[in-house]
Amino acid sequence: MIKLEDVSFSYGNVPALKNVNISETEPIIMGLWGRNGSGKTTFMKLLSGLENIDAGSINVNGITPYNNKEAMNNITYIQENHPFSILWNVEDALRFGALFNKNWDGELAEHLVTLFELPRKKKIKNFSKGMQTMLQIVLGLASKAPVTIMDEPTNGLDAYMRKQFYDALLDTYEEDPRFIILSTHHIDEIEAMCEKIAIINEQTIVRYEETEELKMHGILLSGSAEAIEPLIEGQSLIEKRKLGKQINVMIDDVFTEEWKARANKAGVTVEKAKLQDYLVNYTTKKEVHKV
């Protein structure tokens, strides 16, 4: 599917990606999470062949994407603000989708346009943000590309339309498994659909793990400093806040029954941190704090 080895890229003298390594051989739905400026967009552009690497190598289904006409048959990249012509309506977008995607599924495209209730003759430039997102979803899913990259695919969607997207994505993936990347900086939006999650921070991939394993990380402890300090001695602390005589801390460790028992014995409140909160703290820390 994809393999990146020691990939680096800069915009002039400004590094955008550094020594990126990631490999996946099976069709899965992968989440790509990172804060703004972390390198997500550059990663997707390099993988789709829109930019050329400065160093390293990229292999997508046996090809190097940049300046390779075969890339179009293997990769679809739906950008957050996809560049539609100001003259286009939905019918135009579907026509060009069919022309430029070898595996285009016209029946699926028609089904999704109906599902999302998109006006076929209205100019796309006059669409709301949510309507543009829905049209981008149509193109991404109907392309049936072996590698499909979708940037912020739930942007502007209300709760009902997000569910429609999730159901459509999982249905088409079950029928035709392929490698799908969903990029976001709100992991709670997509984590339920992703088998694995790649974490990008400071212009490189710092973690690539099974979603269920990653979700086990992050322990929140709340209580008196006197009770908590012995519990966190020697632990990797990624957040600490004092509220009078109380302190709240987040530990970079796996949430286990043993931790619950230790906290209860010490009279300390313990809970599993939300994945989004854990990732924000994990990627914000400059160094591992041992206390």
CA distance 155 to 132: 9
Domain with CATH 3.30.70 in the chain: 217-283
The percent of residues in the chain predicted with pLDDT above 70, rounded, is: 98
Beta-sheet pairing, 147-151 with 2-11: unpaired
- Which residues lie closer than 8 Å to 257 by C-beta, 6 or more apart? none
pLDDT at 189: 84
> What are the C-alpha distances in Å from 36 to residues 200, 223, 283?
10, 33, 11
> pLDDT value at position 270?
96
d(CA 268, CA 247): 10
Express as a percent the part of the chain with pLDDT over 90: 87
Whether the pLDDT of residue 286 is over 60: the answer is no
Q: From CA 47, how far away is CA 272, in angstroms rounded?
A: 34
CATH 3.40.50.300 in the chain, residue ranges: 2-213
Q: Model-level pTM greater than 0.85?
A: yes
pLDDT digits (tens, 9 = 90+) for 18-37: 999 999 999 999 999 999 88
Q: What is the pLDDT of residue 285?
A: 60
Could you tell me which CATH number the domain at 217-283 has?
3.30.70
For the stretch 57-115, pLDDT in tens is 999 999 999 999 888 889 999 998 888 999 999 999 999 999 999 999 999 999 999 99
| pLDDT digits 0-9 by tens, 217-245 | 999 999 999 999 999 999 999 999 988 88
Taking each continuous run of H as one helix and of E as one strand, the counts in the chain are: 10, 14
What's the rounded Cα separation, in Å, for the pair 198 and 196? 7
Q: How far apart are CA 220 and CA 237, in angstroms?
A: 10
Q: Which CATH architecture has domain 2-213?
A: 3-Layer(aba) Sandwich (3.40)
Query: Which pLDDT tens digit goes with each residue over 123-139?
Result: 999 999 999 999 999 99
Encoded amino acid at 187, one letter: I
The structure tokens listed for 172 are 């088409």
Kindly list the distances between the CA atom of residue 210 and the CA atoms of 62, 182, 213, in Å, as whole numbers in the listed order. Answer: 24, 15, 5
- Asked whether the beta carbons of 50 and 83 are under 8 A apart, the reply is no
Q: Which residues, 6+ apart, have CB-to-CB distance to 105 below 8 Å?
A: 142, 143, 144, 172
| CA distance from start to end of the chain | 42
| Nearest residue to 145 via CA among 103, 109, 112 | 103
Q: How far apart are CA 270 and CA 243, in angstroms?
A: 16
